Amino acid sequence: MNKKERYRHFVEYFSKHSPNAVTELHYGSPFELLVAVILSAQCTDKRINQVTPALFERFPTPQALAASTVDEVFNYIRSVSYPNNKAKHLVGMAQMLVQDFKGEVPAGLDNLQKLPGVGRKTANVIASVVFATPAIAVDTHVFRVANRIGLTSNARTPLAVEKQLMAHLPKDVIGIAHHWLILHGRYICVARRPKCEICPLTWFCRYYERNNTETALLKAEAIKIKKAKDMKKKNVLNKISRELKKRSVDKDI
Ligand code: SF4
């Protein structure tokens, strides 16, 4: 299957089964989304959703946050990852919003990336979710899942993944495709051991295709060695068995 076909199947599947995918972060305004996305770096959305209600209540506007201190903000976010840095970023971000952007979250990627704590990924999320700009934010899930499915090839950096996805995805699904990839990576195509046994994408997934082909070849080799009763190859057989066990597919050899 070529890349074009994989993209087609990917878009068709998720358009049909997940047409309303959205971020799992809770927010009520562009400012709150910006705060939540800054906080979510290297942390789970679940954890962020636990701390933001109190944070948003105390700092409902950029002006309120800009007038606060890093120490005070730290107390509200101490349970998230890197709370020191994130507290500094949040206060700095709010101050810049007030001073340079009239207290509004700016639309353009360049302006967004001037804000403390906002890198390309965060800027893309805001551009896409708030301003409906065709942009795709590449986090760890998007990076991994796009690569496994075969939507990207030899893409070694988030920017390379972003460029390939932007080049191949139809414009009207670029925004939502980010959520498709994140949610699939969070619940099924997980990092350590993808749950291929329950995944509906196996029939067009490159990782699954390769893994299964290799598994079939290993099984065939093991059967050949067993039939030949070639004791010299016992070590090879053990190695194959260990590998197949790791893949949880060694029951029938
Ligand atoms: S088949 Fe496996 S590797 Fe491919 S997308 Fe599904 S879970 Fe991920």
Question: CATH number of the domain that 104 lies in?
Answer: 1.10.340.30
- Would you state the pLDDT for residue 250? 37
Examine the domain organization and report whether 144 and 116 are in the same domain: no
Query: What separation in angstroms does the CA of 164 have from each of 7, 83, 107, 167, 208?
Result: 11, 33, 23, 5, 21
Q: Does 82 map to a domain?
A: yes
Q: Is 88 a catalytic residue?
A: no
Count of structural domains, the chain: 3
More confident residue, 231 or 249: 231
Q: Does 253 map to a domain?
A: no
Taking only the tens place, the pLDDT of each residue in 165-200 is: 999 999 999 999 999 999 999 999 999 999 999 999
Q: Does 39 map to a domain?
A: yes
Cβ-proximal residues to 169 (8 Å cutoff; 6+ apart), any chain: 7, 11, 136, 177
| DSSP H or E run through 226 | helix 206-228
pLDDT higher than 90, residue 153: yes
Ligand 1: atom nearest CA of 195 is 7
Question: Which of 101, 129, 157 is where one domain is finished?
Answer: 129
Instruction: Give, for ligand 1, the residue of 207, 248, 249 to mutate: max count of ligand atoms closer than 8 Å to Cβ.
Output: 207
Both tokens of 248, joined, read: 């949880």
Examine the domain organization and report whether 90 and 34 are in the same domain: yes
Q: Does 197 map to a domain?
A: no
156: domain CATH number is 1.10.1670.10
Both tokens of 179, joined, read: 């959520």
Q: How far apart are CA 181 and CA 228, in angstroms?
A: 46
Q: Does 209 map to a domain?
A: yes
Taking only the tens place, the pLDDT of each residue in 192-246 is: 999 999 999 999 999 998 888 777 777 787 888 888 777 777 888 888 888 877 7
Q: Is 100 a catalytic residue?
A: no
* Nearest residue by C-alpha to atom 2 in ligand 1: 196
Cβ-proximal residues to 90 (8 Å cutoff; 6+ apart), any chain: 35, 38, 39, 65, 73, 77, 117
Q: Does 220 map to a domain?
A: yes
Q: How far apart are CA 139 and CA 117, in angstroms?
A: 15
Range of the domain at 144: 3-21+136-187
pLDDT higher than 70, residue 248: no
Q: Within a 10 A sphere around the Cβ of 50, how many other Cβ atoms?
A: 13
pLDDT band per the 50, 70, 90 thresholds, residue 247 = low
- Taken in order 191, 187, 185, 9, the sign of the CA dihedral is positive
Residue type for position 114: K
- Would you state the pLDDT for residue 218? 77
Q: Residue 124 gets which letter from DSSP?
A: H
Q: How far apart are CA 105 and CA 112, in angstroms?
A: 8
Q: Measuring from each residue's beta carbon to the nearest atom of ligand 1, which residues come in under 6 Å? A: 148-149, 188-189, 194-196, 199, 201-202, 205, 207-208
- The CA-CA-CA angle for residues 110, 160, 8, to 5°, reads 110
Examine the domain organization and report whether 234 and 178 are in the same domain: no
- Would you state the pLDDT for residue 24? 94
Examine the domain organization and report whether 44 and 11 are in the same domain: no
